[in-house]
């Protein structure tokens, strides 16, 4: 090769090396609309099973599993003819694994509530016989969920429980603990003291050892929490353990207790927004971290929001009332025992009624009681961070022609294992809808060491999906390279579900049909 030609080749190769190759950070693939997938569809994203994506669907009296491949193309559908008709099925929960998924559902026939389980393979087909997990005899017809089902983080333990509230002073809990094969490990009955007339039960969680924990609280005059405790029912014991929280009628006044299990560090995290004065503005976050090994609190602190943070997060509110419309949406545990809290401003406006966060969260002090059995109001409310969804994900949402729904700024805060603030970030957004709140709010996705926040933002006449990335140190960037945002698809981000380490399934509305989009990160 002549020397001149050689140098030209070298220069050309160097030129190629220095060209920035732009690869999309992610890609979006959509499923095609199907005839029966109208806005009236009930659905639940089950997850990725056997390499396929499974989605439960219900329309009127029929239920089926849609099976999609990695390109969101249909592989088939499996009719669930063994499930009762829609008017008798009360609830369904899904627990996906790598090669199968458990479907646990409950229904009423005559005066008996049945809780059943079916194992599904990667094609949505039932394998083996139906399993009867438990039954309950009632003297009335119930359309509320009688059984609650929770799983541990590693899915190796599943707890099924019901609570008899016929005695207002002492509830009777029946708990059945299963392994991931749904083999019964133990059945426990325990009494829950409800000494105060207004006592209620809150969040439930199951750790990897099978210990069930939940909160019990008293709300004075149907507003702030003035008395609270954490109750623990160990997997191998029928003795209920109680841990009183540092809350009293003199303060701090808690808003709504959330529970998160830190399985790696054997800790339980309880947190809530709080007020210094009763039924007043939100002043900060309350933290209580319980160590399972030493049976002692490791953190008991209040974190007050600064004026600088209030100024950044206030939106249309004043600095003093900046967090009065905020709700905790998700808690993420870090490997070192620290935690990240994501919260959001949410409220409604109406000509007929003024907005009141206490009416929205708590409702009537008698809510949740259904003659004989207690169904916690937390089960069916929109609360992120819970294991499989409690209830079917109807896209219809709450409709009220006179109501406008608002979802505004997002706040993300990172705390160290001792509850000390590491950083705070506020993502500014303004969202509203007059028909329902399904297109509002956001979803979180953990991707390696990054945290992604995805939400819709109005762009002229369209709502476009936005993606913000938070690094471990709190650095925040907006991803501007969202590809394949097809015109006509409107995302329902808060109903999205992370199905693998780098894949997220988000429902969309396309020409009045429900579709599903796979967001995949490289």
User: Is 302 inside any structural domain?
Assistant: no
Give the number of domains in the chain.
1
136 vs 111, more confident: 136
User: Is 398 inside any structural domain?
Assistant: no
Summarize pLDDT for 260-305 with one digit per residue, the tens. 999 999 999 999 999 998 878 899 999 999 999 999 999 999 999 9
Phi, psi of 15 (to 5 degrees): -60, -40
User: Is 473 inside any structural domain?
Assistant: yes
Instruction: Label residues 329-340 b or e (16+ Cβ within 10 Å = b).
Output: bbbbbbeebbbb
Name the β-bridge partners of 58. 42, 63
The three-state secondary structure class of 257 is: coil
Answer yes or no: are the C-beta atoms of 78 and 125 closer than 8 Å.
Answer: yes
User: Is 496 inside any structural domain?
Assistant: yes
Task: In whole angstroms, give the CA distance from residue 93 to residue 89.
Answer: 12
Task: In whole angstroms, give the CA distance from residue 278 to residue 192.
Answer: 28
Phi, psi of 220 (to 5 degrees): -70, 125
User: Is 497 inside any structural domain?
Assistant: yes
* Residue span of the structural domain in which 487 resides: 441-522
Looking at residue 90, its pLDDT comes to: 84
Highest mean pLDDT pick, 364-378, 398-412, 461-475: 461-475
Residue 361 — pLDDT band, cuts 50, 70, 90? low
The answer, yes or no, to whether residue 223 has pLDDT greater than 90, is no
Residue 356 — pLDDT band, cuts 50, 70, 90? low
Task: In whole angstroms, give the CA distance from residue 292 to residue 76.
Answer: 46
Looking at residue 405, its pLDDT comes to: 92
Task: In whole angstroms, give the CA distance from residue 373 to residue 380.
Answer: 15
Residue range 69-85: mean pLDDT, rounded: 93
Residue 196 — pLDDT band, cuts 50, 70, 90? confident
Scanning the structure block, which residue is given the tokens 């947190």?
A: 271
Strands (DSSP E) contained in 207-335 are 212-219, 225-233, 241-244, 253-254, 258-262, 267-275, 284-291, 296-304, 326-333
Highest mean pLDDT pick, 23-27, 67-71, 251-255, 399-403: 67-71
Phi, psi of 98 (to 5 degrees): -65, -40
Answer yes or no: are the C-beta atoms of 350 and 401 closer than 8 Å.
Answer: no
DSSP state of 252: -
Residue 26 — pLDDT band, cuts 50, 70, 90? confident
Answer whether the bond into residue 252 is a cis peptide, omega within 30°.
yes
User: Is 516 inside any structural domain?
Assistant: yes
User: Is 334 inside any structural domain?
Assistant: no
User: Is 162 inside any structural domain?
Assistant: no
Q: In this structure, are strands 253-254 and 267-275 parallel, antiparallel, or unpaired?
A: antiparallel
Contacts of 480 (CB under 8 A, 6+ apart): none
Summarize pLDDT for 373-427 with one digit per residue, the tens. 544 333 333 322 332 322 333 334 444 457 899 999 999 999 999 999 999 999 9
Task: In whole angstroms, give the CA distance from residue 452 to residue 479.
Answer: 10
Task: In whole angstroms, give the CA distance from residue 366 to residue 372.
Answer: 13
């Amino acid at each position: 090769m002549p020397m001149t030609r050689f140098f030209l080749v070298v220069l050309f190769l160097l030129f190629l090396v220095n060209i920035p190759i732009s690869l999309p950070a992610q890609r979006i693939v959509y499923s095609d609309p199907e005839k029966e997938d109208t806005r009236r569809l009930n659905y639940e994203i089950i997850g990725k099973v056997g390499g396929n994506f499974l989605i439960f669907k219900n329309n009127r009296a029929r239920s089926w599993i849609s099976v999609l491949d990695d390109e969101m193309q249909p592989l088939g559908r499996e009719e669930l003819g063994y499930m009762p008709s829609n008017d008798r099925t009360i609830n369904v929960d899904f627990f996906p694994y790598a090669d199968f998924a458990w479907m646990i559902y409950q229904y009423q026939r005559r005066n008996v509530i049945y809780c059943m389980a079916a194992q599904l393979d990667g094609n949505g087909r039932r394998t083996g016989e139906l399993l009867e997990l438990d039954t309950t005899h009632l003297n009335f017809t119930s359309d509320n969920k009688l059984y609650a089902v929770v799983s541990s983080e590693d899915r190796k333990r599943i707890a099924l429980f019901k609570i008899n509230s016929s005695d207002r002073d002492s509830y009777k809990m029946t708990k059945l603990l299963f392994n991931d094969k749904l083999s019964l490990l133990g059945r426990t009955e325990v009494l829950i003291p409800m000494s105060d007339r207004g006592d209620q039960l809150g969040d439930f969680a199951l750790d990897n050892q099978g210990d069930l924990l939940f909160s019990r609280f008293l709300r004075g005059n149907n507003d702030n929490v003035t008395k609270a405790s954490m109750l623990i029912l160990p997997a191998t014991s029928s003795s209920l353990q109680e841990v009183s929280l540092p809350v009293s009628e003199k303060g701090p006044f808690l808003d709504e207790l959330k529970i998160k299990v830190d399985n790696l560090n054997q800790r339980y995290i309880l947190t809530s927004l709080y007020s210094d004065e009763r039924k007043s503005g939100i002043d900060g976050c309350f933290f209580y971290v319980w160590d399972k090994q030493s049976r002692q609190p490791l953190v008991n602190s209040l974190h007050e929001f600064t004026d600088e943070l209030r100024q950044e997060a206030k939106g249309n509110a004043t600095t003093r009332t900046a967090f009065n419309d905020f709700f905790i949406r998700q808690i993420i545990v870090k490997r070192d025992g620290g935690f990240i809290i994501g919260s959001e401003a949410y409220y409604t406006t109406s000509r007929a009624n003024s907005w009141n966060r206490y009416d929205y969260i708590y409702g009537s002090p008698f809510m949740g009681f259904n003659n004989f059995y207690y169904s916690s109001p937390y089960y069916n409310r929109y609360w992120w961070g819970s294991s499989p969804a409690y209830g079917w994900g109807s896209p219809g949402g709450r409709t009220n022609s006179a109501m406008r729904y608002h979802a505004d700024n997002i706040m993300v805060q990172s705390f160290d294992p001792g509850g000390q603030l590491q950083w705070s970030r506020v993502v500014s957004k303004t969202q509203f809808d007059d028909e329902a709140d399904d297109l509002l709010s956001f979803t979180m996705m953990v991707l390696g060491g990054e945290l992604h926040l995805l939400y819709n933002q109005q762009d002229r006449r369209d709502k476009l999906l936005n993606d913000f990335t938070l690094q471990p140190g709190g650095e925040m960037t907006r991803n501007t390279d969202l590809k394949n945002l097809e015109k006509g698809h409107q995302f329902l981000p808060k109903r999205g579900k992370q199905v693998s380490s780098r894949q997220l399934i988000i429902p969309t509305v396309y020409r009045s049909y429900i579709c599903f989009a796979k967001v995949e990160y490289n």
